[in-house]
A = this chain, B = another copy of it.
Amino acid sequence: MLLTNERNSMKTFENYESQVRSYSRSFPTVFKKAKGYKIWDTDGKEYIDFFAGAGALNYGHNNEKMKQKIIDYILEDGISHSLDMGTVVRGNFLKKFNEVILEPRGLDYKVMFPGPTGTNTVESALKIARKTTGRQNIISFTNAFHGMTLGSLSVTGNEALRRGAGVALNNTVSMPYDTFLDDNQSIRYLKRFLEDTGSGMDLPAAIILETVQGEGGINAASFEWLQEIEKLCRRYEMLLIIDDVQAGCGRTGTFFSFEPAGITPDIVCLSKSISGYGLPMALTLIKPEYDTWKPGEHNGTFRGNNLAIVAATEALSYWETKTFAESVQEKAQILKMRFEKIVEDYPELKADARGRGFMRGIACGEGKEQYASKICAKAFEKGLIVETSGPSDEVVKFLGSLTIDEEGLRKGLDILEEAIEEVVKQ
């Protein structure tokens, strides 16, 4: 009934929804159905999805295996909502997450359900760091994005979003991300501020970072930089918090984005694709020595979204062997080469191919920033969903599902290139 008899025009959203709505402006249609890497609107128009719910749908839309588990669970009247009470589903997930993810990687973390969104896990991580160290300051990085609640916003770089707070955002300091300055100056700069006791930077409780900045413009940190950051954390007894909300859950080709850098964060933030089915869920992983919470000291109603956890448990199956990760890495290689070729073929863009794994972007150069928005708009017309990122929306960002097949990938990339060509020609 919902899908067949009713038609919503964009008017509904214009009339009733707050001005804050954004994606219904970038993609001005009403969507109705989705499967894998495809999505359809009420006119039946099909789109290839290079957006994947802003990275929350790494396993594609309505993944069949998860779908079945969810339906079975609902039909059996399994607990849908449990806060952090003991449930069969939560127990199963905890065990499987340890077996499939943590143990094989030699990681020892306590698992916290901090509430079902990215900003919940980030806020909980900041609390732990400050409680544990007794320090108030947190280092975040230029063009970081960590969330919209006050604590997370205070470690987010974007000026327009920060202004939305209406209060001064404090107890944080923004340092240059690896790619913000040339020639490894970023790490040297941070070292200078830490080592000079007159630098005016109060000793921080933690450093929080994304190994690849998604909203900030698909900036990928080098492994050397990440290793240096880890060393500084050890030297100055700061906690290392990796916000793997967007770059984690396989997005860069390994479950955690930081694996190939050989670093071990003190706290890891996961959300977006952790449930796999696009259902709200988040985790905070905490080294046991920092798990000093008092019971209920951080809480929240929707910590126990069991439908999401059912899907999440199934999603872990992708990581039981290496096959899945390898397939992502292979497709990532195709993507990388195609993006590099596009950059070469369209010098008018003054572009730069960026990113790591299956998280990549084409950054249009100075004076060409507005190209990115035009390209995405044109691609949408042609049946491809892809969005921009970066401080000036100057980057065309690929976040397609990890399960996309090569055909879908190439088809989407062809549309993207057509869009680029048309925009450049205008």
A20-B297, A148-B123, A302-B56 known; A116-B165 Cβ under 8 A = no
* Least Cβ–Cβ distance between A198 and chain B, in angstroms: 3
Whether B174 and A199, one on each chain, are in contact in the complex, defined by CB atoms closer than 8 angstroms, is yes
Whether B286 and A18, one on each chain, are in contact in the complex, defined by CB atoms closer than 8 angstroms, is yes
Which of A78-86, A226-234, A330-338 touches B?
A78-86
Q: How far is B173's CA from A293's CA once the two chains are assembled, in angstroms?
A: 26
* Residue A65, interface by CB 8 Å: no
* Residue A180, interface by CB 8 Å: yes
* Residue A382, interface by CB 8 Å: no
* Residue A291, interface by CB 8 Å: yes
Whether B61 and A77, one on each chain, are in contact in the complex, defined by CB atoms closer than 8 angstroms, is yes
By a CB distance below 8 angstroms, the chain B residues around A39 are 79
Q: How far is B385's CA from A378's CA once the two chains are assembled, in angstroms?
A: 56
Query: How many chain A residues touch the partner (CB < 8 A)?
Result: 163
Instruction: From B18, B120, B200, give the contact of A174 (CB < 8 A).
Output: B200
A19-B292, A20-B295, A152-B149 known; A280-B170 Cβ under 8 A = no
* Least Cβ–Cβ distance between A214 and chain B, in angstroms: 11
Whether A305 and B280, one on each chain, are in contact in the complex, defined by CB atoms closer than 8 angstroms, is yes
Whether A391 and B196, one on each chain, are in contact in the complex, defined by CB atoms closer than 8 angstroms, is yes
A148-B300, A300-B147 known; A61-B85 Cβ under 8 A = no
* Residue A45, interface by CB 8 Å: no
Whether B157 and A21, one on each chain, are in contact in the complex, defined by CB atoms closer than 8 angstroms, is no
A159-B197, A300-B147 known; A80-B31 Cβ under 8 A = no
Which of A90-98, A315-323, A348-356, A415-423 touches B?
A90-98
Whether A302 and B116, one on each chain, are in contact in the complex, defined by CB atoms closer than 8 angstroms, is yes
By a CB distance below 8 angstroms, the chain B residues around A116 are 116-117, 280, 302
A20-B297, A150-B149, A164-B127 known; A78-B32 Cβ under 8 A = yes
Whether B164 and A85, one on each chain, are in contact in the complex, defined by CB atoms closer than 8 angstroms, is no
* Least Cβ–Cβ distance between A79 and chain B, in angstroms: 5
Q: How far is B26's CA from A85's CA once the two chains are assembled, in angstroms?
A: 8
Instruction: From B166, B305, B307, give the contact of A205 (CB < 8 A).
Output: B166
Q: Which residue of B lies closest to A33 (CB)?
A: B77
Whether A291 and B142, one on each chain, are in contact in the complex, defined by CB atoms closer than 8 angstroms, is no
Which of A5-13, A247-255, A258-266, A406-414 touches B?
A5-13
Q: Which residue of B lies closest to A123 (CB)?
A: B149
CB under 8 Å from chain B, chain A span 345-364: none
Whether B300 and A279, one on each chain, are in contact in the complex, defined by CB atoms closer than 8 angstroms, is no
* Residue A176, interface by CB 8 Å: yes
* Least Cβ–Cβ distance between A285 and chain B, in angstroms: 9
23 contacts between A and B (CB under 8 A): A1-B72, A2-B76, A2-B89, A17-B84, A18-B286, A20-B84, A20-B112, A20-B291, A24-B84, A31-B82, A34-B80, A35-B77, A54-B83, A134-B166, A143-B200, A147-B300, A149-B149, A149-B150, A150-B152, A158-B198, A170-B171, A173-B174, A176-B189
Extra inter-chain contacts (16) besides given A6-B88, A149-B152, CB under 8 Å = A8-B90, A18-B112, A20-B298, A31-B79, A71-B71, A74-B74, A116-B116, A120-B149, A148-B300, A149-B151, A155-B200, A164-B297, A189-B189, A197-B391, A198-B391, A307-B307
